[in-house]
Amino acid sequence: EAELVKKLEQGRPLRIKAGFDPTAPDLHLGHTVLLNKMRQLQDLGHHALFLIGDFTGMIGDPTGKNATRPPLTREQVLANAESYKDQVFKVLDPA
């Protein structure tokens, strides 16, 4: 926390990172809270980095207990990732 305060006091822009697993073609409402906050931080001069976890998307739920996260093929994951990018950059500045 002290390091964060120091950077803010020095006027240094922060690098904000958020990662999502492309387990479905569409983002859901829960993603919007973080994306909107990231956009607010971008508007304040900070850098937002949106990460897509392609490998984690392919393994699904490793416990096998969650049928809503089945393993996906690489092609499915890449298609979902493209869909995520189309949706995310309606909120975030891609620059």
Separation CA 45–CA 77 (nearest Å): 31
The answer to whether residue 36 scores a pLDDT higher than 90 is yes
Q: Which pLDDT does position 31 carry in this prediction? A: 92
- Residue-averaged pLDDT of the chain: 89
The tens digit of pLDDT for each residue in 42-85 reads 999 999 999 998 887 787 766 666 666 778 899 999 999 999 99
CATH class, domain 14-88, is: alpha beta
**pTM, 2 dp:** 0.79
Calpha distance 46→14 (Å, rounded): 5
Paired tokens of 42: 């971008």
Distance CA 4, CA 29 (A): 28
Q: Say how many Å lie between the first and final Cα of the chain, rounded.
A: 27
